[in-house]
Amino acid sequence: MHSSLEALLRQVQKPGRYTGGEVGSVLKEPQTVALRYALCFPDSYEIGMSHLGIKILYSLANARADCWCERVFAPWPDMEDLLREHRQPLWGLESGDPIAGFDLIGFTLQYEMSYTNILNMLDLAGLPVRAAARGDALAPLVIGGGPCACNPEPLAPFFDLFVLGEGEEVSEELLDLLAAHKRAGGGKAAFLRAAAQMEGVYVPSLYEIAYNPDGTVAAITPGEGAPAKIRKRYVADLDRVPYPAQFVVPLLEVVHDRTVAEIFRGCIRGCRFCQAGFLNRPVREKSAQTVNAQCAALCENTGYEEISLCSLSTSDYSALPELMEQLLAWTQTQKINISVPSLRIDAFPREMMEKLALVRRSGLTFAPEAGTQRLRDVINKNITEEQILSTCAQAFAGGWASVKLYFMLGLPTEMPEDIAGIAHLAQRVVDTFYTHSGGSKGKGVSVSVSTASFVPKPFTPFQWEAMDTREALAEKQRNLRGAVRSKKISLSCHHVETSLLEGVLARGDRRLADVLEEVWRQGAKFDSWDDQFKPELWYAAFAAKGLDPAFYNARRRALEEILPWEHLDYGVSKSYLLRERDRAYAARTTPHCREKCAGCGIGCGKAKVP
């Protein structure tokens, strides 16, 4: 690290966020590589170091002899103030070099409320935030990828390109193309035209957006040979894709301080609210042998004593019993815990519970999502109250005494009895403890209920729906609090204002870039943190730019309306989404993918699916 930066570290709260030098970090000599790559996470070190995608891309890029990839996280306000005061630019953790001199600056787009941090990081790097103002020099290129790339339009003027879908293969192709253009001495415009021909690469500057007088999108017109539709990329065979054998081990405690083993991608379930379930189709599994070998290598190389099995629905992994046998063969003797998040209530057999009890006895987490059967059918959750209570009874009988339940407020067709149903279901879980744990009322049970506000997202059957207003969501939270009577039940509700702005950005158009830049210039950053979030700045910025948040949130879109993401293709067809929307309003469920193909349009033929 440069001495000028070291002096600043003595003045910040957590200097370990900025020092680099962790076990597993990659150091190279700058003169030995052709490409410098800044991999940026627009949130704090503790959040970013827990993200699996960053670990994968960091490993892949650094496996190349011609590339040095470094990590960059958003400086906390105390460090930012010092950087601006001392005119120090944002730097890569590994080298301490300013990232404005790198060839590629890549941002992961995980959450809409991190968008102002992206602009702030570009500015701290000494770069214009708008792509057009950065000129035609080939470097630095600013790219983005991740789940929010499914509708990147509010960010479009700030980025050179976006990667749609999974990044392993397309990132390699982009680095190859960039290296070739750098050798040839080409400019940015020529590179972007070539990159736009790759499947999964979206170059927003090549598309013209026209609007109707009412503010809806009138047309999305590609130019300069750009494709009319950009289809996402996905890896067909997860057993063959490289996976890190070494993670960077953080110097301070992070959110998920453990090793992570990805077991499969996608989800068979088709829950109609769940954007991740639709974006990540088709389902592809790793073999148990591959996962076990990767877990062993990571524990050996990092020293971690906990493995988290990562997927959207871990209990749907078809080789889970086989994998648990293989893992337990060595984790028990080494006293390594196995964490199994993302469990399905209807796919959590007694045998799995018994195996988990051998290595852990912490709380179990389930997501009923809705308090009544009717509403669970609307969202296609495909679980019953009897299944919920039966699974909890098994857990309590097996020694568990803590259950977390996740729900949403504001789902389409929701009624007051659905809100009351959340409290009723939580109480029935409490009662189940006392009838199945073998204990008495002197023994404690903890039922934690957490609610989030439903946010309609692109590429889901609910993408056309209106979102609940601030007043409606606040009233529903009050009613739920009033319905919870037991001290055994703790209730937490997500911040309504954050959800409302998330909704605007999730389904917004390119005009919102002006709002983003305005609110950032007024001081907005770290908007996902309650103690940093200033909603009044956002509403002032909307007013200053003549845009109404209600236009994006509070109206149901016409089915024939051109949506801002209409030119992006994540594989699921519009006709399928409309069928699922109709079934939702009829409270009719759809079988999961292994029971019957619903004809979503993704085409599982080229993927290695279970």
Number of other CB atoms surrounding residue 179 within 10 Å: 17
Which domain range does residue 332 map to?
259-494+571-585
Whether 315 is in a domain gets the answer yes
Q: Give the helix ranges, DSSP H, for 242-344.
A: 275-279, 288-302, 320-334
Tally the domains of the chain. 1
Question: d(Cα 15, Cα 1) in Å, to the nearest integer?
Answer: 12
SS3 content of the chain, % helix, strand, coil (to 5): 40, 15, 45
Q: What angle do CA 204, 604, 243 make, to 5 degrees?
A: 70
Contact 145, 78 (CB under 8 A): no
Q: Is 476 within a domain?
A: yes
pLDDT by residue (tens digit) across 276-318? 999 999 999 999 999 999 999 999 999 999 999 999 988 899 9
N- to C-terminal Cα separation, the chain: 47
The per-residue b/e assignment along 233-260, b for 16 or more CB within 10 angstroms, e otherwise, is bbbeebeebebbebbbbbbeebebebbb
Distance, CA of 126 to CA of 209 (rounded, Å): 29
Mean pLDDT value of segment 564-591 = 98
pLDDT-based confidence at 440, cuts 50/70/90?
Answer: very low
Contact 306, 259 (CB under 8 A): yes
**Residue 78 pLDDT exceeds 60:** yes
pLDDT at 480: 98
Angstrom distances, CA of residue 509 to CA of 178, 218, 308, 449, 453: 29, 12, 37, 34, 22
Rounded distance between C-alpha atoms, residue 303 and residue 517, angstroms: 43
Least confident of 20-24, 293-297, 388-392, 451-455: 388-392
Write the pLDDT tens digit of every residue in 147-191.
Answer: 999 999 999 999 999 999 999 999 999 999 999 999 999 999 999
Contact present, 313 and 265 (Cβ < 8 Å): no
Of 281, 326, 283, give the one whose Cα is nearest residue 307. Answer: 326
In the chain, % of residues over pLDDT 90: 85
DSSP 139-170: -SEEEEESGGGGS-GGGGGG-SEEE-B--HHH
What gap in Å lies between CA 504 and CA 486, rounded to an integer? 36
Residue 292, in any domain of the structure: yes
pLDDT digits (tens, 9 = 90+) for 226-244: 999 999 999 999 999 999 9
Q: Quick one: pLDDT at residue 521?
A: 98
Q: Is 582 exposed, middle or buried (0-12, 13-18, 19+ CB in 10 A)?
A: exposed
Residue 358 maps to a domain? yes
Domain annotation covers residue 432:
yes
More confident: 502 or 399: 502
Residue 209 CA to residue 158 CA, distance in Å, equals 16
pLDDT of 353 above 80: no
Alpha helices for 446-573 (secondary structure H):
470-483, 496-506, 512-521, 535-544, 549-553
10 Å Cβ neighbour count for 553? 23
DSSP state for residue 523 in the 8-state scheme: T
pLDDT of residue 14: 94
Could you tell me if 245 and 294 are in contact, meaning their C-beta atoms sit under 8 angstroms apart? yes
The pLDDT of residue 314 is 87
Nearest-angstrom CA–CA distance, 459 and 67 = 35
- The β-bridge relationship of strands 306-310 and 284-285 is unpaired
**DSSP string of 51-68?**
-HHHHHHHHHHHTSTTEE
Query: What is the distance between the alpha carbons of residues 402 and 445, in angstroms, rounded to a whole number?
Result: 6
Positive or negative torsion for Cα 80, 86, 90, 94: negative
So what's the pLDDT on residue 347? 59
C-alpha dihedral sign at 274, 389, 452, 107? negative
Cβ distance 194 to 177 under 8 Å?
Answer: yes
Q: Is the pLDDT assigned to residue 363 strictly greater than 80? A: no
CA-angle at 278, arms to 276 and 279, nearest 5°: 65
Helix (H) or strand (E) holding 207: strand 207-211
Q: Is the overall model pTM greater than 0.75, yes or no?
A: yes
Peptide bond into 140 cis (omega under 30): yes
Across 3-12, 401-410, 518-527, least confident range:
3-12
* The pLDDT of residue 247: 93
DSSP three-state, residue 261: strand
How many Cβ atoms are within 10 Å of 72's Cβ, its own excluded? Answer: 25
| Domain assignment of residue 217, yes or no | no
CA–CA dist 368, 258 (Å, integer): 27
DSSP 247: P
Say which CATH number the domain at 456 has: 3.80.30.20
